[in-house]
Amino acid sequence: MSSYNNSARFNEARKVAIFGGTHGNEMSGVTLVNLWVKNSAEIQRKRVETKPFITNPRAVEKCSRYVDTDLNRAFSPENLSAPEGDNLPYEVQRAQEINRMFGPKGSPEAYDVIFDLHNTTSNMGCTLILESSKDHFNLQMMNYIKKAIAPASCLVLLNEHPLLKYSTSRSVAKHPVGLEVGPQPQGVLRSNIFEAMRIILKHALDFIELFNEGMEFPPCTVEVFRVSERVDYPRDANGNIIAMVHPNLQDCDWEPLNPGDPMFQTFDGKTIHYQGPGTVYPTFINEAAYYEKQQAFVTTRRETLLASAIRKHEN
């Protein structure tokens, strides 16, 4: 019995996982998940089974992002279907194991929700990352979290870009949610960032509990920042960077960048300006891990998405 005619119906989200250590040097997630593995009282909810899980234990031990290759890019169909063997890179083997445990990706047996916990050196605050604008369950969750943490804020980054989207660890689940909190240097644990991440997770799990109990969530709108373009550092012929993020842009994630605004400063002090056609919203500005990925920041565009009402299937 629904009060909204076109309520989207979803199964109860009974199987939920929280991933930490997908990048071994992002300490908030590593620490939280290790804590919850020891004592999971904080993440237990009625009608939900929540599994905290360290996805890349060898990278965690080394306190490095990865061992052989970036685990958070390793969940491609090719990797997941590659013949098993010891000659596969460690993270590809690991991706296959994770896919067996929490997937298979795209199958009805897959976990319902996976939260993947990350930190960034960028001044992004609390950012939730979605991979689809059509996942109304996730959009409703974003709306719930935003309301619950107000007046603190958290933003939603939507990566649906055909070329810039990558195959994440969380993509194994039916409803993948990335959580990116910064600024925090790699290999460092800051208590403010740690607490911020903990609070977001609390509200996210509360949402799932309410949903499973049968609460209906009315239609709503969600403001998202849609990934648009990757911008690399200026480089010389050998591929070495020759400029840094300009002081006017550094730490200004999510603030408008207009044509003509300073963007980079070369090592000998010259300013390079943004030449794009219109205003964009940059984020992931000066993220440590993206120097090797040829990315100084990504530009995004603001959009408002409509989330339909949702409730669980009656069965």
Residues that bind other proteins (CB under 8 A): 31, 34-35, 63-64, 121, 183-192, 194, 240-241, 244-247, 250, 265, 267-269, 286-289, 291-292
In this structure, how many other beta carbons lie within 10 angstroms of the beta carbon of residue 269?
Answer: 7
Task: Residue 117: name the closest of 63, 175, 52, 42 by CA.
Answer: 52
- For Zn ion (CB under 5 A), the number of binding residues is 3
For residue 169, how many C-alpha atoms fall within 13 Å in the half-sphere facing its CB? 30
Rounded Cα distance between 94 and 55, Å, is: 8
User: Is the Cβ–Cβ distance between 91 and 69 less than 8 Å?
Assistant: yes
**Helix, strand, or coil here: 257?**
strand
Q: Determine whether the annotation assigns residue 72 to a binding site.
A: yes
Q: Determine whether the annotation assigns residue 167 to a binding site.
A: yes
Q: Determine whether the annotation assigns residue 314 to a binding site.
A: no
Q: Which is nearer to other proteins, 29 or 183 (CB)?
A: 183
* Listed ranges 4-12, 17-25, 92-100, 256-264: which one lies at the site for Zn ion (CB under 5 A): 17-25
180, 213, 216, 223: the catalytic one is: 180
Among 118, 146, 175, 311, binds Zn ion (CB under 5 A): 118
CB contact set of 187 (below 8 Å; sequence gap of 6+): 25, 27, 63
Q: Determine whether the annotation assigns residue 65 to a binding site.
A: yes
User: Is the Cβ–Cβ distance between 140 and 220 less than 8 Å?
Assistant: yes
Rounded Cα distance between 49 and 312, Å, is: 17
For residue 180, indicate whether it is catalytic.
yes
Q: Determine whether the annotation assigns residue 118 to a binding site.
A: yes
In this structure, how many other beta carbons lie within 10 angstroms of the beta carbon of residue 128?
Answer: 24
Q: Which of Zn ion, other proteins, none sits in contact with 194, Cβ below 5 to 8 A by type?
A: other proteins
Q: Which of Zn ion, other proteins, none sits in contact with 279, Cβ below 5 to 8 A by type?
A: none
**197-201 contacts at long range (C-beta below 8 A, 24 or more positions apart):** 197/28, 197/29, 197/32, 197/117, 197/126, 198/32, 199/149, 199/152, 200/126, 200/128, 200/145, 200/149, 200/154, 201/18, 201/32, 201/43, 201/115, 201/117
Q: Which of other proteins, Zn ion, none sits in contact with 37, Cβ below 5 to 8 A by type?
A: none
Q: Which is nearer to Zn ion, 270 or 293 (CB)?
A: 293
Q: How far is the CB of 267 from other proteins (least distance, A)?
A: 4
Q: How far is the CB of 195 from other proteins (least distance, A)?
A: 8
Q: Which of other proteins, Zn ion, none sits in contact with 265, Cβ below 5 to 8 A by type?
A: other proteins
Q: Determine whether the annotation assigns residue 166 to a binding site.
A: yes
Binding site for Zn(2+): what residues are annotated?
23, 26, 118
Binding site: what residues are annotated?
23, 26, 65, 72-73, 118, 166-170, 180, 290
**Residues labelled catalytic:** 180
